[in-house]
Each structure stands twice: as C-alpha cells, then as structure tokens.
Amino acid sequence: MNDGAKGSDLTTVGIVGAGVMGRGIAQVAGECGMTVLLADAQPQAVSEAIKACAGMIRRKISKGQLGSAEGEAAIARIVPTAASPSGGYADFASCDLVIEAVVERMDVKHAVLAGVEEAVRDDCIIATNTSSLSVTGFAARARSPGRVAGFHFFNPVPLMKIVEVVGGELTDERALERLCDVARRMGHVPVRATDTPGFLVNHAGRAFGTAALRIVSEGIATFADVDRVMTQSAGFRMGPFELLDLTGLDVSHDVMESIYHQYYEEPRYRPVAFAARRRTAGLFGRKTGRGFYLYADGRQEKPSEEAPPSLDLLSVSVWVSQRYAEAGDAIAGIVRASGARIDTEKRPSPDSVILLTPFGEDTTTAALAEGHDPSRAIAVDCLTPLSRRRTIMRTPITRPDIVATAWALFAADGSAVTVIRDSPGFIAQRILAAIVNIGSDVAQQRVATPADIDRAVELGLGYPKGPLGLGDELGARRVLDTLAAMHAFYGDPRYRASPWLKRRALLGVSLLCDD
C-alpha cells in the first residue's frame, strides 16, 4: 500500500449507504471540508439524505453554530452519485477513502466492498462502518487486505463524538493512522480497537442490559425499580430498560445473542430468555409503542411508585451491623435523624429491627453469617450515595411490620426508597460490579488501552464514568469481593472476576494501570 494521501489531507470520501448513519457521516465530512460522494442502491435515498444533511447544516447556521457561507459550501460538497452494487462504483475512482454504511449483513457488505475495490485507486482506504461483523473477514476477501479497516461511528453521528478505528489481522498500520487523522478532522475522538466481537463500546456495554434483565427475570425487582435505582442512585442518564426501549429490543437482543455466540458462549455475555420472548412478541420499545414501558404519541408512560408507610418511629429500636464500619456509621446517622432509637447492645434486642450492610451478599446470607434472626433482617445498599435513592432488601421471611418500619425510617427525611426481594448484590452493586468486570476483561484482552476504554464508554454509552475509573471510585477490592460473593451464591461463572481486576485489586493499584 502506497503512502497516498495522509488522513488530514484527504479531499474526497465516498460513502455507500444513505441511511441515517451514512447521512450523518456525510454531514460531518462535508462540514470539515471534504468532498463527499454519496451512493445507495436506491437513488431516492441519496436525494433524501442530501436534503436531510442540508436541513441539519442550515439549522446549525440559524443557531449561529456555523457561518452561512461555510454551511452552504459544506452542503455543496455533498454530491449524489449513481454508484451501486449493480451499476458499479466507477464514480469513486477519485476517492481517497470509501466508507460503507449499509445494512448489517455480511453478504451485502461483502458485495459492496468487492465492488468498491474494483473501482478505487490502490492507495484508497476502504472502511466498513460495521458494529459487530469481523473486519478481518472483510479484509481476507480483498485484493489488498492491508487497506481494509473498521471505522465505526455512533448514531447520531454529528452528536456522538467518537469513532472506533478497528484493525483486523491483516490491516496495515498506516491505514489505521490515517483513519484516526480523518476522525480528528471530523471533530471526533478516535479510539483504536482490535477486531473482537462488539469491538470496544458494544463489548464494554454488555453488562448494563444483561445484568438488569437477569435481576428482573429472577423477580427481584420490576424494570421500573431497576431504572430508578440506576438513574437516581448510580447516576446514569438512562436506566437499562429505558435504553433497551430506545434502541429497540429487536436490535439489542440480537446484538446480545451475536456477541454471546461469537465469544463461544462466554457466560458473562449470556442473554436472558424472557428478553427473547418479548422480542418474539414484538415488544420492541418506542418504535412499536410498547416495550418495557408504554408510549403514547412517543411519550413514555412511567408506572407510579407506591408511597412509603407513615409510622411513628420514636418508639422503634434499630440495631445496625458494624461488620462494615463506615457503612454502619452512615446508616446509624440516618436512623438517629429519623427519630428512631439505636440499639447499642452487641447483639440485637428481641424487639429491634436488624439493619445489615452487605456487599455482594443477599440479606439471607448476611443475616446467617452474622448469626441474626432473618425474620427481623433488612439489608441496605451502601455502595452508592445514601443521599440519593435508597435500596432496602428483605429476606423471604422478613416480617411485614419490619419491612414497613424500615421503609418508613429510610423515607423519613423525604428520600426515595426502593424495596426489593432478596438478591446477591442488590440492584446497583450487581450491575456496577458487572460493568467494572467486563470493562476489566476488555482491558485484559488488549482490545484497547485502559484510557481509551474509559473514554470510549463515556462518549459512546454516556456512562458517568468509564468502567475502569468506576472500579477505582467504588474500590477495586470491594468490587472483587462483591463478585466473589455473587459467584459463591450462584455458582455461575458469569460472576467470575477478570484477571485484570483481580490482580490490580490484590495489588491495590488503579484499574487504569497498564502493564
């Protein structure tokens, strides 16, 4: 492969596929000064895409985000072509880079890429925008495999300022460097990733949805409970079920199954059966008006939340476990503020509510481990800030009056409270530990650098922190212990710790520490 045009000097880019993704790439390429040759098997789709690009660019002009002359010049640079799999891609002969953004089907993409390679110069980079198919598989069929790479944008392209630059086993390093330059020129952050299932972002994002689906499938909490906890306690912008409804279960579940099978049934990525049933039923989410939530005129209808009981707490006696002293002290402060009395005996008095603060254990296991009466035991999740929504958890035999008292106590200062059935790891502990663990294994597999993993997840998924930074914030040893407790309870290798997490937790160093 010749040096050809450097990424910052590329002047002409061809785009095959005039759908939402293709038009988004065309818009940002036109705005950064590149001539864009747009093609699609349906000529009308090209016209509609150029019209949509012009509308978006003129909206930026009206908002003062782009000068009028600059914006109109960008529109003029997006040019329709008649190129297609049936008619050939001769119009792309002058291109320095061609990006295919067609339907996510291997046979369709192979046909497009083969046709493109016949028409372009030897130094033209050929990129696929695939989100899940093998870049190596595409390159292996090419005449010049070194110039074939992954260039995976996220939708909507003008707003999602990240692009995965994926090298297959045969991709030339210079092609990847040029694509990184192009991404920066477009105003995007390029992250280098190896050619593994899901690449970087879709791989690192496996835990959020699958762990949440597992919680609901076990009857531990409702989907609305999970979303409330993950947004209000854990600080995510969207709950996992809101996100599944937004992307569409038809898309999300297929990706779950694809990555699971591509990793030869790796337990960490195992999908949940009830999600497959909902997909079969057509409960896709916003696009069908019904998913985990109902949608009226596109607006989500959220189920109401039961109000906490109103009780006189002045005569209530509460014993707080000091197994984890910092958590116990925080709980004791809330108890005192509610007006309830702290039981200061070493063992709980017969009439005391027993409050436990486990990490990774369920209430039953924690109560028995400390030798307490499970019928009076309530566990409180202390992993996330108690100033936000609070999660309390009962055993199968916790007395109803104990549950009501604990609920009233933790809601006494106006805080929202979620009451769930017994579960190793509550809701937030379970999902957050899974996020950290999968992110750690992405690092262990050298899919990307630790810094790029966190940067990509923050930009591509909108998480408050990347998985490795999140693990540092929560405490790598605490995450490791939480996973170990869940693994011990279930015996499911889904919860086994990544070597990356385990070593760094034992050494007491940052999960962002590369070796």
- Active centre residues (catalytic): 131, 152, 164, 202
Torsion of CA 293, 296, 297, 301, to 10 degrees: -50
Query: Strand pairing partners for 35?
Result: 12
3-state secondary structure at position 307:
coil
CB 461 within 8 A of CB 450: no
Q: Please say whether the beta carbons of 394 and 403 come within 8 A.
A: yes
Tokens of 508: 């007491």
Establish whether the linkage from the previous residue to 400 is cis, with ω within 30° of 0. no
3-state secondary structure 413-474: CCCCEEEECCCCCCCHHHHHHHHHHHHHHHHHCCCCCHHHHHHHHHHHHCCCCCHHHHHHHH
Residue entry with tokens 């818009």: 27
Does residue 189 sit in helix, strand or coil? Answer: strand
Collect all residues with Cβ–Cβ distance below 8 Å to 169 and sequence separation of at least 6: 136, 139, 195
How many CA atoms lie within 13 Å of 466's alpha carbon, on the beta-carbon side? Answer: 24
Residue 301 CA from chain centroid, whole number = 23
- Tell me the C-alpha distance between 306 and 322, whole Å: 31
State how far the alpha carbon of 212 is from the alpha carbons of 71, 208, 319, 344, 469, in Å.
Answer: 44, 6, 31, 37, 21
Query: Is 15 exposed, middle or buried (CB count within 10 Å of its CB: 0-12, 13-18, 19+)?
Result: buried
3-state secondary structure 324-381: CHHHHHHHHHHHHHHCCEECCCCCCCCCCEEEECCCCCCHHHHHHHCCCCHHHEEEEC
Distance CA 510, CA 515 (A): 11
